[in-house]
């Protein structure tokens, strides 16, 4: 079977998702997991966009061996040189150059005629080719470009040394039949197309990104560009996990394969969600909580008799484990550690012991503890381990006609500190008390709380976005007490300031 290359752009296009922002170390952690997942290429960022993005791409190029490490660049000298500098340490570096070719982009954005666009495309490809043998070119908004002009550009950049031609559906305008036909037409009308791999990059504005990508694969595309959880600009990108599992599940139709270790899909999805703050919908295909859940009595009966009656994929094949884990206060340490291992966690004995203590405390508060409760416990433990400020206790006074007041006590490197403050509400009062202790001033940009599992005793997951002196920081914590989760989330954000 032909192997379809998986080009992951979570760290570039995915980070452009509204509300998503990643620190340099967060990007490295995701890149390392993408290597474990088995992606062929990692688009690590847009190096010229900021010094921070340049450093993040360079760090990934230095630390992550195996996959191609790619940097994005416009057809501009400063962009290409920045991308070259960032990916130079990589074992397999790639420069990805792009330039718009649709009439609307050429007229209103670039204000250039076709001949000038063709000249710039060739110039950019040649400049990138001077620095690396692996060059990718994207005619931006290709799905809305005039076909004859698109053929000319593709042929010219391949002559200039480009080895991968990406055909982006930049604004999610394409529909599967027409997009597959476009890929087929490029194969039939560009004389030297056999010298390059055809790649596709689809956006989800009409909810068709995955369908368009798969139609392209069926018509000869050899690489698919996608993101974990489908995050990205506007409505997002084609979802990596959906692309991969569609190809795996319907090998009979697509007659191809990928090199992805599908058992790492769920843990990768969870990692990206945790670090970006972009939640995975409950009904998200492949990795959503409900993806392998059955509530209907007819469905349950069918699955018990033969799994294949209502499941076309096995949950363990994507690292999902079991649909639901029923654990409570009588569960033992062995069952707990085995369950964590099935969820994909590789913890030391000390980490397991610490998580088990937290599990026991939670089990006393609620009747059943589910998989997502366990994930929250492990995530909470990893955050607490590296905290400068650790919550000792807090007290709030509030009510009708009473000005909310909070007393917060923390430990800083073993030393106890406390502060008192008033605010617009109990949470605001707590946040002001924390600011007094840490001697910082933050502005809350976003506050969200969700129930991790069902029931009135569910863990509440609080995610906040705070700006401290122009630096935007994400804070997150979980607890059955929403006010306590809110306090811990703010401390988590403050601790990231160093």
pLDDT tier for residue 337 given thresholds of 50, 70 and 90: confident
DSSP one-letter string for 404-455: EEEEEEEEETTEEEEEEEE-SSHHHHHHHHHHHHHT--EEEEEEEEEESSSS
What mean pLDDT comes out for the span 237-253?
98
Please report the pLDDT score of residue 216 as a whole number.
98
Please report the pLDDT score of residue 360 as a whole number.
82
Please report the pLDDT score of residue 165 as a whole number.
98
Q: Which two tokens stand for residue 348?
A: 């030391």
289-303 burial, b at 16+ Cβ within 10 Å, e below that, comes to: bebbebeeeeeeebb
- Percentage of the chain modeled with pLDDT above 90: 73
Is the model's pLDDT at 326 over the cut of 70? no
What mean pLDDT comes out for the span 171-191?
98
d(CA 369, CA 334): 16
Please report the pLDDT score of residue 88 as a whole number.
97
Please report the pLDDT score of residue 133 as a whole number.
97
Please report the pLDDT score of residue 228 as a whole number.
98
CB 243 within 8 A of CB 24: no
d(CA 490, CA 475): 6
What mean pLDDT comes out for the span 418-446?
95
pLDDT in tens, 8-27: 999 999 999 887 889 999 99
HSE at residue 85, side-chain half, CA atoms within 13 A, is: 14
The helix/strand count (H/E) of the chain reads as: 17, 16
d(CA 479, CA 481): 5
Please report the pLDDT score of residue 331 as a whole number.
64
- Percentage of the chain modeled with pLDDT above 70: 93
Please report the pLDDT score of residue 10 as a whole number.
98
What mean pLDDT comes out for the span 154-165?
98
Q: What is the mean pLDDT of the chain?
A: 91
Please report the pLDDT score of residue 383 as a whole number.
58
Q: Which two tokens stand for residue 238?
A: 């084609």
Is the model's pLDDT at 245 over the cut of 90? yes
What mean pLDDT comes out for the span 286-315?
77
Residue-range domains of the chain with CATH: 2-276 (3.20.20.70), 297-384 (no CATH), 387-495 (3.30.160.270)
Is the model's pLDDT at 267 over the cut of 80? yes
d(CA 9, CA 209): 14
Is the model's pLDDT at 375 over the cut of 50? yes
Q: Are strands 164-169 and 197-202 parallel, antiparallel or unpaired?
A: parallel
Is the model's pLDDT at 370 over the cut of 50? yes
Give pTM, 2 decimals. 0.78
pLDDT tier for residue 330 given thresholds of 50, 70 and 90: low
């Amino acid at each position: 079977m032909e192997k379809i290359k998986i080009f992951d752009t979570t760290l570039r296009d995915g980070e452009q998702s509204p509300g998503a922002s990643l620190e340099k170390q967060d990007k490295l952690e995701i890149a390392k997991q993408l290597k474990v997942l088995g992606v062929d290429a990692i688009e690590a960022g847009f190096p010229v966009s900021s010094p921070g993005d340049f450093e993040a791409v360079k760090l990934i190029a230095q630390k992550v061996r195996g996959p191609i490490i790619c940097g994005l660049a416009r057809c501009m000298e400063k962009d290409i040189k920045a991308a070259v500098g960032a990916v130079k340490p990589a074992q397999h570096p790639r420069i990805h150059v792009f330039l718009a070719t649709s009439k609307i982009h050429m007229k209103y954005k670039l204000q250039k005629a076709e001949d000038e666009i063709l000249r710039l495309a060739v110039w950019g490809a040649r400049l990138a080719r001077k620095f690396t043998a692996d060059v990718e070119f994207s005619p931006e908004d290709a799905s809305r470009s005039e076909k004859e002009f698109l053929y000319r550009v593709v042929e010219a950049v391949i002559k200039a040394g480009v080895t991968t031609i990406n055909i982006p559906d930049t604004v999610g305008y394409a529909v599967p039949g027409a997009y597959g036909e476009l890929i087929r037409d490029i194969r039939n009308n560009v004389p030297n197309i056999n010298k390059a791999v055809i790649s596709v990059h689809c956006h989800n504005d009409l909810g068709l990104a995955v369908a368009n990508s798969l139609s392209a694969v069926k018509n000869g595309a050899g690489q698919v560009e996608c993101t974990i959880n489908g995050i990205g600009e506007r409505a997002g990108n084609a979802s990596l996990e959906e692309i991969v599992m569609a190809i795996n599940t319907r090998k009979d139709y697509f007659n191809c394969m990928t090199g992805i270790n599908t058992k790492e899909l769920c843990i990768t999805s969870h990692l990206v969600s945790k670090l970006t703050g972009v939640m995975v919908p409950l009904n998200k295909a492949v990795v959503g909580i409900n993806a392998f859940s059955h509530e209907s009595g007819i469905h349950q009966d069918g699955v018990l008799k033969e799994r294949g009656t209502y499941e076309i994929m096995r949950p363990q094949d994507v690292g999902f484990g079991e649909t639901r884990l029923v654990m409570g206060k009588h569960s033992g340490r062995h069952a707990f550690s085995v369950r964590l291992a099935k969820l994909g966690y590789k913890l030391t004995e000390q980490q397991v012991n610490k998580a088990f203590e937290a599990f026991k405390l939670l089990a006393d508060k609620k009747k059943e503890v589910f998989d997502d409760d366990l994930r929250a416990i492990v995530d909470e433990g990893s955050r607490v381990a590296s905290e400068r400020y650790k919550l000792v206790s807090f007290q709030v006074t509030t009510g009708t006609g009473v000005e909310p007041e909070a007393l917060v006590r923390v430990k800083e490197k073993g030393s106890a500190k406390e502060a008192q403050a008033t605010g617009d509400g109990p949470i605001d009062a707590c946040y002001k008390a924390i600011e007094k202790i840490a001697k910082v001033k933050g502005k809350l940009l976003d506050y969200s709380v969700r129930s991790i599992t069902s029931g009135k005793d569910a863990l509440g997951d609080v995610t906040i976005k705070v700006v401290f002196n122009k630096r935007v920081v994400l804070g997150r914590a979980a607890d059955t007490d929403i006010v306590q989760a809110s306090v811990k989330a703010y401390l988590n954000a403050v601790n990231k300031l160093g």
